[in-house]
């Protein structure tokens, strides 16, 4: 019997929920534990598991209703989750004094803050509050509309703006449970009970969910939270630690969480006491340091002084503070001046006034015409490689480092930026001396990193080459090493339990991410603060960077801020190569690494360097090594071999009734072939857009879909024959598309073109993957067959055929009558306009469509081929020479002049055999004649002669369709041509012989 997810999945709503979760940034449940790249949204995991456990009935509509109820994503559930937003005035009241002055005016947020900045600000305020204060703030939420029907009328994504995420509410109401139980024949009162009952029914026990690439832990964590037994495994110890922490700290229950919070607070207090005793963060004015700003400086050949480097010397846009440099007669070091400037001057600094590095060149601050190549400064042999004992540059090093500004805060919360004075520099010297005394011992104890940065990595080579930093601790200032080491030492003394020790380790990881030489200073008005290292997926040394004093650790250091009731029962986390796993699961849900999208093993080492020796004490069976040589990488043959091996292994460790769900963020047939060769057969595929608004594409947003491929074990390896398989594929694709069209509700489309395309692909796979062999060819052999460039396997040809069936089944509304008579390229052009009018801007989608219609070159038709800004030409946009025929004869026999420019001279234009081009030419003529339809009409009559009368109705239908293109938002370029099309259509309709 198929499960719910094998028949349908509420894609639009899930996309909206996933997007909301991802947008929560620091407010996401697992992100507080530490950085990992590409964590999957928890709601997607929850929906996938429920979808795999819930049987499909013969009433798909009811199934959908019940499924949404379980997830509180039905209309009642959404209303129940609608708590509204906290008004800005309440945020202002709750904000710490210094934030209040900085970010709020009398009425609310200061002008100029973007939505993202406001969201981040609120997250920071929230994190600074006690649990009681958070509750009080929560109580001030206001529902956007009082009236339920007005709420229901909003598009789903808009409703969500005012809603809690499903994971943060109680779950379905008792009356919803009654309906759920009645439909499913269960007696559940909560999610774990439902999961248990559905699992028992299928597997005879609580369902066990496994993830062999668990990364940041989303899959095992969510599985366990809703009542499954969870198994997580990853090659990387950092991933293992995060997953273990998600299950045992966030899922550890009140006692564990209270202990973790207490120990981390005590460790911070102990470190703080020491810092105060040393007097390294306080000045004589009673102020405490609030931020440290550093820069690199170099003395190029011919310069008498060291040049401090920065792409901009703007420190605070809101405070109007900048740094200037002054020469000194007694030194070759310049002296910083930290000054408040006028609005006019601020503007100049925003425009990079005084920048001393640009385009990889060093610029003389006193003579902008004098510059040096930064690369050349490194010399022919490169930079001196720092030693293990180094924690600051040596005097002979090319790149020197210096502190140039400190932001102070006084007892009233007032900030002040200043250049370091003599006593500040004395404090810096003291920091160095204190660190020197402890450095070796702390490395031995594992309080400080002592490992070398692996050379030759894609990401790890960067700090080595550009700064000579060869050990991980070189990526931190002496002050950072001293304060982080202090915390590590305090934790070693205070944390006893495995949970508290893990929390302390992760705390150190968070500190490394928020307080290192790779943390840039963000001078934008809403920020004026240091950023984290992994803003991007790289390890890029910076010319200016920021550091945090210990007081700032209050937000970055703790792993848990409040106690959550979650108590996870059964979970196992191991470190293992996925090829070697021996654990069995009922459901494997995996999100494999692909094509080096993220260099997990290299980036993870940044954290592992801090965990290192301490990790082995807490997890004696874990080796603190990323085992990079075993990481699945690239997309070549090695990748395919490892993946086939892994998925064969997972299929072996799954019961016959078991299922798999594989998530990936690309549509590469290779992955499907791998799963097929792994002994699995596809039963469904769905795409959830996780980085954009639901169901649609917001302008300027980066859009990414996550494909969820549902698979079962292929128990019988029957041989098949391509000529028999073709019609089966055709039927399955049509059936799949028709069933999706039937589900597409009015007003809230569930599926967009990408979904249909993918569904066709999945439908083909559903048929193909039933067979172990096709026409005597073994699929595994096919996966590894060496092929010439552009040579296709028979398997690929079948898949492409499926796509073209899908393309042909999806006819833009209003074109049904003329569709069959259009050529493939015409259909492509019109379908592309159709998706463009619905807001689709991803170039990949236009390319995917082209594949489906068999159009090989779309460049002449695309006005813009930007990755996220694709659009088609209008008739007036296409050059006349490309639309008009050379001789006036019937279109299908006329050759267009050879194309020049883009696409190469001499290539035939894709519209060469298209009657649509005549119609477009006529539209163009109409527009050019100030919307007089006569020249266009005459042109068509001349071109088509007698056949004009037979084609007239089709022309009218097509023109009317083009006429409607000027209406949708974002189709401004079509306004003139669609008006011309409308007028021409009217003229043709009334034409008489």
CB of 45 to ligand SAM, least distance (A): 8
239 scored as a contact of ligand SAM (CB under 6 A): yes
947-963 vs 975-989: helix crossing angle, rounded to 10: 140
**Residue nearest ligand SAM by beta-carbon distance:** 215
What's the 3-state SS for 896-932? CCCCCCCCCCCCCCHHHHCCHHHHHHHHHHHHHCCCC
Tell me how far, at minimum, the Cβ of 576 lies from ligand SAM, in Å: 7
Of 213-221, 464-472, 481-489, 871-879, the segment contacting ligand SAM by CB under 6 A is 213-221
Of 163, 560, 631, 677, the one binding ligand SAM by CB under 6 A: 631
Whole-angstrom distance, CA of residue 268 vs CA of residue 279:
16
Contact 702, 22 (CB under 8 A): no
Part in contact with ligand SAM (CB under 6 A); list of ranges 10-18, 234-242, 552-560, 750-758: 234-242
- 591-620 residues in contact with ligand SAM (CB under 6 A) are 591, 593, 600
Rounded distance, CA 265 to CA 267, Å? 5
| DSSP for residue 45 | H
**647 part of the interface to ligand SAM, by CB under 6 A:** no
- Candidate residues 10, 207, 210, 216; the one interacting with ligand SAM per rule CB under 6 A: 216
How many Å is the maximal CA-CA distance in the chain?
A: 102
Per-residue x/- mask for ligand SAM, residues 542 to 581, rule CB under 6 A? -----------------------------------xx---
Q: Which of 975, 857, 951 is nearest to 909 (CA)?
A: 857
Buried-exposed string 935-949: b where 16+ CB fall within 10 A, e elsewhere:
ebbebbbebbeeebe
Binding characters for ligand SAM, 104-133, by CB under 6 A (x = yes): ------------------------------
Report the alpha-carbon distance of residue 829 to residue 850 in Å, rounded.
9
- Interface with ligand SAM by CB under 6 A: which range of 210-218, 282-290, 510-518, 928-936? 210-218
Among the candidate windows 231-239, 773-781, 910-918, 934-942, which touches ligand SAM by CB under 6 A?
Answer: 231-239
Q: Which is nearer to ligand SAM, 38 or 300 (CB)?
A: 38
Q: Which is nearer to ligand SAM, 158 or 596 (CB)?
A: 596
SS3 957: helix
- Cα–Cα distance list, 716 to 426, 681, 909 (Å): 77, 10, 49
Q: Looking up tokens 């239908």, which residue turns up? A: 957
Rg, C-alpha atoms of the chain = 32
State yes or no: residue 92 binds ligand SAM (CB under 6 A): no
**Minimum gap (Å) between residue 35 Cβ and ligand SAM:** 11
Question: Taking the complex as a whole, how short is the minimal distance between the CB of residue 598 and ligand SAM, in angstroms?
Answer: 7
Task: Considering the complex, state which of residue 39 and residue 843 has its C-beta at the smaller distance from ligand SAM.
Answer: 39
* One residue of 21, 120, 234, 528 binding ligand SAM per CB under 6 A: 234
Could you tell me the smallest distance in angstroms from the CB atom of residue 212 to ligand SAM?
6
The correct pick among 172, 215, 237, 658 for binding ligand SAM (CB under 6 A) is 215
Q: Which run of H or E residues covers position 95?
A: none
- Closer to ligand SAM by Cβ: residue 236 or 312: 236
Two tokens, residue 11: 């894609």
Could you tell me which stretch among 313-321, 492-500, 629-637, 692-700 binds ligand SAM (CB under 6 A)?
A: 629-637
Site for ligand SAM in 15-44 (CB under 6 A): 36, 38-40
Stretch 700-719 residues interacting with ligand SAM (CB under 6 A): none
- The minimum distance between CB 470 and ligand SAM, in angstroms, equals 24
- State the number of binding residues for ligand SAM (CB under 6 A): 23
Integer Cα distance of 525 and 545 in angstroms: 17
Q: Is 222 in the site for ligand SAM (CB under 6 A)?
A: no
700: left (phi over 0), alpha (psi -120 to 50) or beta: left
Q: Minimum CB separation from ligand SAM for residue 704, in Å?
A: 13
695: which DSSP letter? T
Q: Examine residue 10 and tell whether it contacts ligand SAM (CB under 6 A).
A: no
And the tokens for 405?
């500004």
Whose tokens are 């595994």? That residue is 780
Beta bridge partners of 707: 664, 687
The full 3-state SS of 465-495, as one line of letters, equals HHHCCCEHHHHCCHHHHHHHHHHHHHHHHHC
Cα atoms in the Cβ-side hemisphere of radius 13 Å centred on 163: 28
Interface residue with ligand SAM among 15, 29, 218, 818 (CB under 6 A) is: 218
HSE of 44, CA atoms in CB hemisphere, 13 A: 32
Between the two ends of the chain, the Cα-to-Cα distance in Å is 62
Stretch that binds ligand SAM, among 184-192, 235-243, 287-295, 311-319 (CB under 6 A): 235-243
Q: How far is the CB of 198 from ligand SAM (least distance, A)?
A: 23
Q: What is the DSSP string of 835-892?
A: HHHTT---HHHHHHHHHHHT----GGGEEE--TT--EEPPTTTS-HHHHS-SSSS-GG
> Does 213 participate in binding ligand SAM (rule CB under 6 A)?
yes
Minimal distance in Å, beta carbon 631 to ligand SAM? 4
- Closer of 392 and 580 to ligand SAM (Cβ): 580
Binding flag, residue 632, ligand SAM (CB under 6 A) = yes
Positions in the binding site for ligand SAM (CB under 6 A): 36, 38-40, 212-216, 218-219, 234-236, 239, 577-578, 591, 593, 600, 630-632
């Amino acid at each position: 019997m198929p499960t719910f997810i094998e028949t349908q999945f509420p894609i639009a709503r899930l996309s909206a929920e996933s997007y909301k979760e991802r947008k929560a940034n620091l407010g996401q449940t697992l992100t507080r534990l530490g950085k990992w790249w590409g964590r999957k949204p928890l709601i997607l995991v929850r929906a996938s598991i429920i979808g795999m456990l819930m049987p499909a009935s013969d009433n798909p509509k009811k199934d959908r209703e019940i499924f949404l109820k379980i997830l509180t994503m039905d209309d009642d559930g959404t209303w129940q989750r609608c708590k509204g937003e906290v008004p800005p005035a309440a945020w202002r009241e709750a904000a710490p004094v210094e934030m209040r002055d900085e970010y709020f005016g009398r009425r609310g947020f200061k002008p100029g803050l973007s939505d993202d900045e406001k969201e981040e600000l609120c997250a920071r305020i929230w994190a600074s509050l006690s649990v009681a204060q958070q509750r009080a703030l929560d109580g001030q939420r206001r529902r956007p509309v009082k009236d339920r029907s007005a709420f229901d009328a909003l598009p789903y994504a808009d409703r969500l703006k005012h809603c809690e995420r499903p994971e943060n509410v109680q779950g379905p109401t008792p009356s919803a449970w009654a309906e759920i139980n009645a439909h499913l024949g269960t007696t559940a009162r909560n999610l774990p009970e439902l999961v248990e009952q559905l699992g028992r029914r299928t597997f005879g026990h609580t369902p066990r969910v496994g993830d062999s690439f668990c990364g940041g832990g989303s899959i095992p964590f969510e599985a366990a939270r809703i009542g499954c037994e969870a198994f997580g495994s990853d090659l990387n110890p950092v991933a293992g630690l995060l997953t273990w922490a998600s299950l045992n700290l966030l899922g550890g229950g009140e006692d564990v969480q209270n202990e973790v919070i207490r120990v981390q607070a005590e460790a911070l207090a102990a470190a703080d006491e020491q810092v105060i005793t040393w007097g390294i963060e306080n000045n004589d004015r009673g102020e405490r340091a609030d931020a440290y700003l550093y820069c690199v400086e170099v003395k190029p050949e011919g310069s008498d002084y060291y040049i401090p480097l920065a792409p901009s010397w703007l420190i605070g846009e809101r405070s109007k503070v900048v740094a200037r440099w002054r020469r000194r007669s007694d030194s070759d070091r310049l002296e910083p001046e930290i000054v408040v400037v006028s609005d006019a001057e601020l503007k100049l600094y925003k425009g990079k006034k005084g920048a001393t590095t640009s385009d990889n060149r060093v610029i003389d601050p006193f003579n902008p015409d004098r510059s040096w190549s930064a690369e050349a400064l490194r010399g022919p042999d490169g930079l001196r490689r720092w030693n293990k004992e180094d924690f600051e540059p040596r005097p002979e090093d090319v790149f020197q480092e210096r502190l140039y500004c400190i932001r102070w805060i006084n007892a009233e919360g007032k900030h002040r930026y200043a250049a370091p004075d003599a006593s500040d520099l004395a404090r810096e010297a003291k920091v160095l001396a204190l660190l020197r005394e402890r450095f070796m011992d702390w490395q031995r104890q594992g309080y400080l990193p002592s490992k070398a940065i692996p050379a030759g990595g894609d990401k790890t080579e960067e700090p080595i080459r550009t700064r000579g930093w060869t050990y991980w601790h070189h990526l931190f200032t002496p002050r950072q090493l001293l304060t982080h080491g202090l915390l590590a030492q305090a934790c070693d003394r205070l944390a006893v339990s495995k949970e508290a020790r893990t929390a302390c380790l992760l705390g150190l990881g968070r500190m490394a991410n928020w307080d290192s030489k790779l943390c840039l200073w963000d001078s934008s008005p809403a920020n004026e603060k240091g950023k984290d290292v992994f803003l991007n997926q790289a390890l890029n040394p910076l010319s200016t960077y920021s550091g945090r004093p210990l007081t700032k650790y209050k937000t970055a250091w703790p792993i848990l801020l409040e106690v959550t009731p979650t108590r996870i029962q059964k979970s196992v986390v191991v470190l293992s190569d996925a090829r070697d796993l021996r654990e069995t699961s009922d459901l494997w849900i995996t999100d494999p690494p692909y094509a080096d999208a993220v260099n997990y093993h290299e980036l993870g080492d940044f954290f592992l360097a801090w965990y290192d020796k301490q990790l082995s004490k807490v997890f004696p069976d874990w080796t603190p090594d990323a085992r990079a040589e075993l990481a699945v990488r690239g997309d070549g043959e090695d990748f395919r071999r490892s993946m086939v091996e892994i998925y064969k292994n997972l299929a072996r460790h799954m019961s016959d009734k078991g299922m798999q769900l594989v998530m990936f963020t690309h549509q590469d047939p290779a992955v499907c072939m791998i799963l097929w060769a792994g002994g699995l057969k596809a039963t469904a595929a769905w795409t959830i857009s996780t980085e954009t608004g639901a169901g649609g594409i917001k302008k300027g947003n980066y859009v990414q879909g996550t494909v969820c491929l549902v698979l079962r074990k292929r128990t019988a390896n029957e041989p098949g024959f391509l000529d028999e398989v073709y019609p089966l594929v055709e039927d399955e694709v049509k059936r799949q598309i028709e069933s999706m069209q039937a589900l597409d509700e009015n007003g809230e489309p569930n599926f967009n073109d990408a979904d249909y395309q993918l569904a066709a692909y999945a439908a083909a796979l559903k048929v193909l993957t039933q067979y172990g062999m096709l026409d005597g060819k073994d699929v595994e052999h096919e996966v590894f067959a060496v092929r010439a460039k552009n040579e296709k396997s028979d398997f690929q040809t079948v898949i492409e055929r499926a796509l073209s069936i899908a393309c042909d089944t999806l006819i833009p509304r209003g074109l049904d009558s003329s569709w069959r008579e259009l050529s493939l390229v015409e259909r492509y052009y019109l379908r592309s306009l159709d998706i463009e009018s619905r807001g689709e801007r991803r170039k990949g989608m236009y390319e995917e469509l082209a594949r489906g219609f068999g159009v090989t070159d779309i460049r002449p038709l695309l006005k813009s081929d930007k990755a996220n800004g694709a659009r088609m030409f209008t008739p007036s946009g296409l050059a006349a020479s490309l639309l008009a025929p050379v001789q006036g004869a019937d279109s299908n026999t006329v050759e267009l002049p050879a194309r020049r420019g883009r696409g190469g001279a001499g290539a035939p234009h894709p519209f060469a055999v298209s009657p649509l081009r005549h119609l477009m030419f006529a539209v163009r003529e109409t527009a050019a004649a100030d919307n007089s339809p006569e020249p266009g009409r005459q042109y068509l009559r001349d071109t088509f002669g007698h056949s004009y009368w037979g084609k007239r109705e089709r022309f009218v239908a097509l023109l009317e369709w083009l006429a409607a293109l000027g209406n949708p938002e974002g189709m401004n370029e079509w306004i003139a041509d669609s008006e011309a099309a409308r007028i021409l259509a009217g003229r043709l309709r009334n034409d008489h012989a």
